[in-house]
Every structure is written in structure tokens, then in C-alpha cells.
Chain A
Amino acid sequence: MKGLISGIKRMEIHDGDGLRTTVFFKGCPLKCIWCHNPESIDFSKQLAYFQEKCIGCESCVSACKEKSPFALNPPFPDCSFCLDCVNACPTNALIAYGKEYTLDELLSAVLQDEPFFKNGNGGVTLSGGECLAQPKFAVAFAKRLSEKGISVYVDTCGYVKQDVFTEILPFIDTFLYDVKAFDNDLHTRLTGKGNRLILENLSYLSRQNARIEIRYPLIQGVNSDETEKIAAYLSTLCGITKVKVLQYHAFAASRYQALGMKNTLPDVKTTFDDVERAVQGFKKHGLPAVNGINE
């Protein structure tokens, strides 16, 4: 059994409590227009070409087994992902997203920072993409970590079968659960999928007494009118340890371009004050809301 991973980030402080290592699973059932991890949307391996870093040496062309006329125009449809071009690039202008890991390999990678976890009340966070969209691997991985006494968090969009939550629940300390919009039509327009399953799963986790930290990405003028409705809904649930309002930014633009993907990032700004207003909106409903900019 192997998992497809788009990246691993160490010393992460924004994906749960303490000092954590975050594993970004590749592939997501949603297509959020503001997605800041575009390399984690597709379920297959991808090559990205960062033109700004390229010095035009054509080492990649020479290294390519097929000696293909490397036009450097992503998404490289005929690529066999031998990665010779990536390894030959002297400036890291070519990056491969999507590496297959066995459970042992991934464990070995994330446990490098184990000494830091215990001193920082940290652990490992499964993120993405949607980590639970590779359910067997994610559950097995979480189980192995849990058996080692490592704290495991899951960062999820919630758009997965409820059975997956049932299976992984015993191994998870906290779910970082995205709620992006309450209105089903708006949710569909913004993410490509409706939110019924997402909200059902959230209610399910709540009933199972799971620890849940809600993540609300605030994109001013896009989903900012949803705050009140989301807050009203969340106030009916148990187990919400925190509601974190995340400030939208458009820093991922270069990666959309590098991956040859259409840039769907909304051209809007979300300010500190916008986030603060949303935080107050949640607090009015008695929810433990925090400004993600401060955390």
C-alpha cells in the first residue's frame, strides 16, 4: 500500500497545537477557487515549472530519456515521471509534486522531528489536498502514529464517506475541519461540490465526541456573508474547541502558473479588520473564535 504525497513540512505551527510535521496528501474532491495548495488538487503526479528560477541551461532537455522537445509548457501530458529532468535542474525551477510513499517510508520521514514533538506538545497533521481521499493509507498511517504515541491531527474538507471518519476516529486527537460556506448553492459554485455531506460528517463527528477545530477561510466579498449562518449552525454542535478564521491571500499564483493550471484565485483582499469582524460574529454565538492572523 502506498500513499501519494505532495509534500511534507516540518516545524509547522499553523496546523494544530504545538510543533508539528504536516503531510500533504495529493488529490482533493473539491476544487475551491481560492485553493492555496493547487499542487494538491489533482490525484496524479504533476510537474511544475517555475519560469522565474529557470536559467535556460536546458539541463532538463538533455536529461530527458525520451529526448523530448521540452517546451517547458506544463502540464507535460506525455511525461513518464522518471524525474531525471527534475534531478538535473540546477536551480529547482522544475519541481515534482506527488511522491509515492510506503507506510514505513512516510513514518520514517515524519518521525525525524519526533524529539521536538514531545517538548512542544506537537505531532503529525494529515493534510492535503484531502488526506481522507486516500482512506486506507491515511487510516493505516494514523494508526501507526497513534500506536507510537504520536499525536495525530487530521485537516479535512469533510467531503468523504462517513465510514472513513468512523475508521480513523480512534487514532485522531483533533480534526481541523473546514467550513467554507453554509449555503449549498454557493458552496457548489465556490468548491465544485455541495456541502450536505460535509455538514453531515461534521455533525457525526460532533456526536462521536471528537475534538473539532473549525477552519473558516474568509474571502471578503466571496464567502464573507456566510459568517452568521455558519456561526448559528456551529453553535448547535458539541466538541468545537476553536473556530479559526483564516485570512485569504493570493500567494499561490506562481504555483498555478507553474503547474499550467488556470488561476482561479479571487482578486480580492481580506484585511485584518475583516477577519476580526468575522471572529466577533462567531463569538456572539458563544463560539471560541480566534483570528488566524494572530495564531
Chain B
Amino acid sequence: MNREALANFVFNNGAIENESSVFEKDCENIAYLLDHCEITISQNDRFFVKTNVKRLQAEVLHKRYAALIKEIKTVEIQNGERTRAYTGIFDFGHTSPIWQNVLNLGIVGLRNELMQRAKNGTSEKQKRFYAGCVRIYDAALRFLARVSEFALNAGKTEMAEGLHNLCKRAPSNLFEALQTIIVFYNLQHDFECTNLRTLGRLDGLLYPHYTATEKTFAAKMLQDFINEIDRLEAPSNIPFAIGGTDEHGNTLVNPLSYELLDLYANAETTNTKLHILCDQTTPEDLVKQAFRCIRLGKNSIVFISNDTAIKGLKALGAAHNDATNYHVVGCYECGAQGEVTCSCNARVNVPKALEIVLNSGVDTYTGISLAENIPGSFASFDELYAVFEKVLLTFTKRAIFATDRWEEKYPLLHASPFFSSTYPSAMEKGGDIYCDYAAKYNNSSINAIGLATAVDSLVAIQKLVYIDKKYTLAQLKKILQNDWENEEILRLTVKNNYPKYGMGDPTVDELAKRIVERLARYVNGRKNVKGGVWRLGTFSIDWRWNFGEHTHATANGRKAGETLSQNTSATFGADKEGATAHLLSVSAFSHALTPNGSVADIDLHVSALQGENGINAMYSTLKTYFERGGLAVHYNVLDTEVLKKAKERPSAYPNLQVRLCGWNVLFSSLNEKEKDEFIARSLEKENV
């Protein structure tokens, strides 16, 4: 059936009637899509096919969302969104099925367990859940049989045979295990439209099958798997993880960890992401192999600290075993085993809170009043800071309120029968993860955006107005309201010469610590409407652009509309003391306080990391950062092409470092001729 016909069915069938119908309607829709979708196969496909159902159930969700907007969005919520001071929304997009169950039981095993449990279901809700799940699993098995036949006709006997087996039993070899992962990805991500954002710890999951497979054969199969995952065209990459520890603290690194890393280094992949879960038990050679991989330009590797992740999750109430067996979804977000990781619910704009304090409670762009009773002047910096903190917490409260409003409506928005059926808690309770809040840990998240922009601005205000007394606060307010017009010298002075977060200055970093600790006290562990708790994060990913566009000039020399700082990192160009200083700043506070995710972004040029000593230096930075309580690091090692772009647009690469005169300097600090010479030399090196 073509996509339009499929859409007609699911849209008509998926309209909200009442709370009890959403689960049933979604199961009907998923079964219908499985039974009627079109299948296509390409020459490259080894494990599975493509269908024409992508995003259809997501559009059903969107229509339900649209129908609820008026009811949910109060003026206060709308004001937060219009000004980007605070926002709150549902998040069905950051999940990890419990892969052990998927691979141990297989599609047919999960279905059989549901059948077994259906016999014991007593309440209407339970009966509805088990029946709905069985229905979609039956449809899935029919679908797999259909795909198997289709593959056979297309001459894909390996694929056909694997699927034929998976209709009868759990995966029993490496090929079938990999095929099961891709099949389940399709079922959950494409048919159900609960975004699946990690393939799990593949080294552990696949190891038993890997050891039973001839090594060359296994390597080729894994390579084909990575390539096929790459072609799934998922939003924001598909991550997988290696490493970690068991509940006793023993490393889980095995020979497959090395193999996967090696394959990843050589794969032509742009759509996958690798999380390496490390601590002091992780073999040094694995981490160094990862750094060599990064040096080759594989910048999509993120290191996660086991210790910090586990500590943060346990502080939120996760059991030791669940925290140890955590997953990482999306970019840097860790969730305990059994947790539904709604990591992108609420956002609070930290610099906006300061803008509001300096503008009598009013948003500069829109004129919307966001805070009452803001004093016009402050006798001291501490007084100003206290009001800033109060406004920030008010915004946080409102962002939480907005998210609560949506999360109360989960039963009216989206059902996740495939996803839920992998969770023991959902299976035991007989309820859907979303419609019935059946996860073991039903947590919600809020991310503080623009931390460094806010810290640098506070430091600038303190120095200009309260220490050096070069300007009155009224004068500075006027300058910011006028977006630094006719004050370019002052703007550049503040931007280039004032102390900044990211330079390893303890006084400045203390402010970042103060903000994060206060937010953490307010957010972490706070009860949400789902029976879980709130978790704080400090990543801003690409939101920093959009939130920046709605944030007026800030006192750190940033002009109105420019981007806010990235994640937990320094503002661009502020890390002029180098990576070690940058990492000291970012680890000025414990990242166990930001269990929803935080990351230090470290940009380096490949020439600054030459030889084994370069690898040792990177290893040292990572180990030290994690010892100091950091959670995640993302190293960007840039190449000649990037240098060329940096020459054309220096402002886009203000903190790109290159090796010069025996040390590293900012590329932007070179003159044009030197830049040309450096590019030529870099090219020569590449051509050797």
C-alpha cells in the first residue's frame, strides 16, 4: 500500500477519543502498517529492507499534540516559548529498549512472554496492554515472514533465511543477532515512532555470538552492519556503546570492544556515534586506540565516565545494578537500566535570566514581562546575583510546570508497545511506558542552556560596575539595550581581555559552580507528575543557536542574537589557555550534579597531537577530567580542510588550535600568509 493510503488510515484511526483508546489505536495503527507497508530492498542491504512508513505514527502524535495545545499552553508557557526564556515539552525521542531482552528472547520470544502474561492479566488495563502487544507482535511476525519471502525472491538468501529463523526462535548466531537489532530498530523507531537513540553496549551484547564466529567472517559482518546502520538516516546519528563495568566494578571491555573500535575507525560512516564508557579499569590501550581513531578525524566519539554517570544516577534513586548497567542515549544522556530517559523535556535559558534582571523584568526583543519587582539598581554584585538566581529559579519552575502539563497528557499522546515490551517493569505491571507510566524510573529532564555565556557576563558586570567602577549599572544596561552600538572598543575589551570561564580561573569557575549547584539543588530529585524525579543537564547542542537568536546582547561582549555558549563548555575563543585549563574550568563542579548530561567540547588540530606523545597527552586530559568528576568529553580534532574554512571564516573557528613554534596557538591569531603556509605544510604532511 502506498504511503498516502497508509497515512489516511493511521491519521483517521489515531485521532484522540479518550485516554483508554490511545494505546489500542496505536496498536491498531502499527499492526496495519506492518501488514500493509511497501517493502524495498537495495543491493547493499544485507540484514533488512526499507519500508514506506517512516514518521507516520510521529505525525499521528503531532496531530494529537496540536489538538491539546490550546488546553495546555497557558500564557506563562507561551511567554517562555516566545522569549526562549524557558520551554517545556514531552520527549518520546530518547529511548533505549532493553537490548538484552530483545536479543535473548528475540521477536518471537517477546511475543511468547506477552502471551504467557496475558493469561495472568486481571485488570482491564493489563488485559488491554497484553492484548495490544500480542497483536503488534503477531503483525510483526507476519511482516517478517513477508520480508523473508520478498528477500528470497530478490536473491537475498542470507537475509531471508535469517528472518525465517527469527520468526521461530531467538537469534542463535552473530548474523541473526545483528539482524534482530536492525529489525527491532525498524519496529520501534519507524513503525511505532518511539525514537530509538542507542543500539546499546554492542561489545557485551554480541560477544557470545562473536566468539562463536570465525574472526574474518565476523569482522566483515560487523562492518556491513555498521554501514547498514549508517544508511538508516536516523535523526542526529545512531549511537552505540562499548566498555562499562559490571555491578562489582569489573571492566566489561572484551576483544569485541577493540574490534568494534577498529571497524568504526575504518568505516565510512557519518550517521553513527560511538560512546566509550570508561573508568580506571578500562584498559589504557583501548582508550588510546580511540584517540588514534579521533586523530584520524572520527570526531563522533564521546567518552563517558562510568564513575560520574553511576554516581549521578544513584543520587536520583536508581538501584546500584540499574545505575551500573546504564545506557547512553542521544548525545551524552545516561539513563539507568529500566529508566525512560526523557532527556530533552525542559530548557532554561541562563543568560536570559540575567537579561531580564538588567531590563526591569522585561524581555528586550518582545517586551513581554517575565519577572515582577526587579529593582532598578543593586548596591552590590551579591545583591544583583541574588536576584539573578531568583529569576533563574523562577524560569526553571515554569519550564518544569510546562513539561508537567505535557507529561500529564502522556496517555493521550503516544503508546509504545514494542518499546514497553522490552522493559520488565512494563511487562510485570501490564502497562505502557508512556500511556501507563510503566517504566521503573519515570524521570524528566531540564537543561540549563548558555552556562558559560551567563558566567562570563556576570564576571564582566562584576568587574566593570562593582570592582573597577568604570561604568554604572545604568550605563551598562543602556549599552546592552543598544546592542553595544558605538561601544565597540568596550565590547572588544570585555570579549578579549576579561576573565572567562574556560581559562581555569578559580574565581570565575566558582560562579559556574554556584549556578550549577543551585540549579541541581532545585531540580535533582524533585518529584514529577509521572511518579519519577527531575534531573538536571547542562548541554545545549544546537538549541544554543535558536535560544541565542532570541537573547539580546550580553555583558560578555556577545551581540544580540549571537549563539549562546555550547554545552558545558567555554564560550568560543575563551579557552585561550588551552585544553587543560578548559577542562579544569568545566570540572570545577561535580558532574554527578548534572545526571541528565553535560559535556566538555575540546577542539584541537591534528598537528597539536602528533605522535605517541600526542596520544598520551589526550589520554592524560581525559583521565584527569574524569578523576575530577567530569561526565563526558567530546574531542574535535580538525584537519586541513577545516583550516581552509577557518581561514575563510575566522569567526566560525575562534578556538581552533594549531602547533606553531613548538607550541599550540590559535589559528585565528596567525596572519594570512602564515595561515597559507600552515595549510600548505599540513597538506604536505597529509600527502606523505
Contact = CB atoms under 8 A, between A and B. Distances in A.
B608 to A, nearest CB: 7
Contacts of B488: 55, 57, 90
**Most B C-beta atoms less than 10 A away, residue of A10, A91, A272:** A10
Given A13-B617, A272-B685, A91 B492 contact: yes
A161 interface: no
Contact of B496 (A37, A92, A272): A92
Contacts of B581: 10, 112-113
Contact of A294 (B496, B610, B671): B610
Nearest to A87: B497
Interface centre among A15, A22, A112 (most CB of B within 10 A): A112
A252 interface: yes
Contact of B620 (A52, A55, A120): A120
A256 B608 CA distance: 23
Contacts of B610: 13-14, 293-295
Interface in B553-588: 577-581, 584
Interface string B657-686: 001111110000011011001100100110
A72 to B, nearest CB: 16
A19 B497 contact: no
A113 B497 CA distance: 22
B671 A116 contact: no
A228 interface: no
A238 interface: no
A120 B616 contact: yes
Interface string B610-650: 11111011011101100110000000000000000000000
B677 A249 contact: yes
B504 interface: yes
A90 B627 contact: no
Contacts of B660: 251
Contacts of B611: 13, 294-295
Given A116-B621, A122-B617, A249-B681, A10 B671 contact: no
B609 interface: yes
Contacts of A52: 671
B489 interface: yes
A18 interface: yes
Contacts of B688: 272
A65 interface: no
Contacts of B612: 295
B668 to A, nearest CB: 10
A271 interface: yes
B585 to A, nearest CB: 11
A115 B610 CA distance: 22
A253 B674 contact: yes
B609 to A, nearest CB: 7
B662 A14 contact: yes
- Of B610, B613, B614, most buried by chain A (CB within 10 Å of CB) is B613
B578 A10 contact: yes
B617 A18 contact: yes
Contacts of B627: 115, 119
Nearest to B557: A90
A17 B612 CA distance: 10
B493 interface: yes
A59 B497 CA distance: 13
B492 A11 contact: no
A254 B617 contact: no
Contacts of B493: 59, 88, 90
Contacts of B677: 249-251
A266 to B, nearest CB: 14
Interface string B484-523: 0000111111011100000010000000000000000000
Size bracket, chain B contacts: 35 or more
Contacts of A13: 608-611, 613-614, 616-617
Contact of A19 (B495, B616, B663, B681): B616
A19 B496 contact: no
A219 to B, nearest CB: 15
B290 to A, nearest CB: 16
A90 B674 contact: no
Given A19-B621, A120-B620, A271-B684, A9 B663 contact: yes
B674 A10 contact: no
A245 to B, nearest CB: 13
Contact of A251 (B489, B609, B674): B674
Nearest to B623: A119
Contacts of B492: 55, 90-91
Contacts of A36: 661-662
Interface in A122-151: 122, 127
In this complex, the member of B609, B611, B619 whose beta carbon has the largest number of chain A beta carbons within 10 angstroms is: B611
A121 interface: yes
A25 to B, nearest CB: 14
A94 B178 CA distance: 60
Contacts of B614: 13
A14 B610 CA distance: 9
Contacts of A254: 670-671, 674
B504 A119 contact: no
A117 B584 CA distance: 13
Nearest to A215: B662
Given A36-B661, A120-B616, A252-B661, A10 B577 contact: yes
B617 A19 contact: yes
Contact of A22 (B580, B584, B663): B663
A225 interface: no
A19 B578 CA distance: 12
Given A37-B661, A119-B623, A252-B661, A18 B613 contact: yes
A42 interface: no
A10 B623 CA distance: 17
Contacts of A19: 580, 616-617, 620-621
A285 B681 CA distance: 29
A12 interface: yes
A-B complex: 7 closest residue pairs judged by Cβ atoms: A120-B620, A90-B492, A295-B611, A90-B493, A19-B617, A119-B623, A119-B620
19 contacts: A9-B664, A10-B580, A12-B662, A14-B659, A14-B663, A17-B616, A18-B616, A37-B661, A90-B491, A90-B495, A112-B580, A115-B624, A115-B628, A116-B621, A250-B677, A251-B674, A254-B671, A272-B688, A295-B612
Interface of A: 9-15, 17-19, 22, 36-37, 52, 55, 57, 59, 87-92, 112-113, 115-117, 119-122, 127, 249-254, 271-272, 293-295
